Structure 1
């Protein structure tokens, strides 16, 4: 059993590392950046991979994000060193060990990593873990330090994000009027364009370019889908589904308001 303790400790380090990155990702999303960018920044900081200049600016210019990244860097250095040390110790041959035992440890390591990989790819686990982490962060931290959090009902199904427009995105090279984001329940608050002044409350004739950072407000699930939406027929279909969902929500809200009026009238 003692020969398997290093592998068990390795799994514990990996699980804790995954949880740390997940918590940091959700925390960064709560500060107003997109899911994909938050995930990239959290993983980069934890592994020490670093950022590009524009992404580094997004962190250093925001005090809460800066604290999250600094903590990730500290924990990442300790976690990676421990994981590598545990892995090396688990396969050190003392000279009198049976070869079957070594292959058994290889099998245990592969099986454990496969299980962890399947868990990280599960949408069901991902959604519930995100909800749990978000609830815990809101319960025991004060990430939402700005008054606009309450004004915009952030945390009640709505959020504000910074989304970088990429060349393959559904948004690229299209004007705001043609995108019809308002029909999905999404409002464009502003656009940051490299080499140009910040454009607040842009008009419908404004076209989005690759490299733009667009600030959006709307339902969390719609913004998450929009961040992952790519150009082409699949992106158009996602747009139509989001519009239908928004129309259904509006009808349900209208029915609730009508019922409330009838109840109060009686």
Structure 2
């Protein structure tokens, strides 16, 4: 029975620590999905060497969180707790301690899944991260509505793509379709951040863009011969702008590309 209780407490405490790490990494701009995976990877010491892991450790604030998770996973904290539980041999207090441990395990499990706990925890984590962060901490998932209909996507431009061999200014993606091109990665590895309207999209380029998920998926597969798709996208964007203006009459018109 004691072994079972120790296992429950170990799992619950691990879940709580990983959840705290996830909240901290999310606040540095990572999506919750990536933050959760990297938090679990660091805590467990699994050592997944992925591109996401390189991004996670690219900033001081994120490195601090990852180092803390690695230390907590390696110092034997969980093992020490398990040993303490298994050392309860006094029969006069065994039942009382068993009840306390079960209650603690249930509380830890509940906290690891509680949104209210996350909301209370976030300000504390923010104050800690502010001491080491070299950039303003934001929840970019919420800021960019990435958990809704908007997303950031990257896709390769084929020779027969509607985007190929066109200047961004001529494509008018931002003003007519509501799509922002955040960057262009050339085939030779050159990266153009926040490209201007004078930059041309060439076959082999990888375009990084922000917009509505459905619109980005359509744009990525749009062939050069499909001129109607652009007109349909423009019409859909006009309807969206009309709806937003009804909701916000003070909304300013979109600047040209």
What is the TM-score when the length of structure 1 is the normalising length?
0.49
Larger radius of gyration: 2
Q: Which has more helix, going by share of residues?
A: 1
- TM-score normalised to the size of structure 2? 0.50
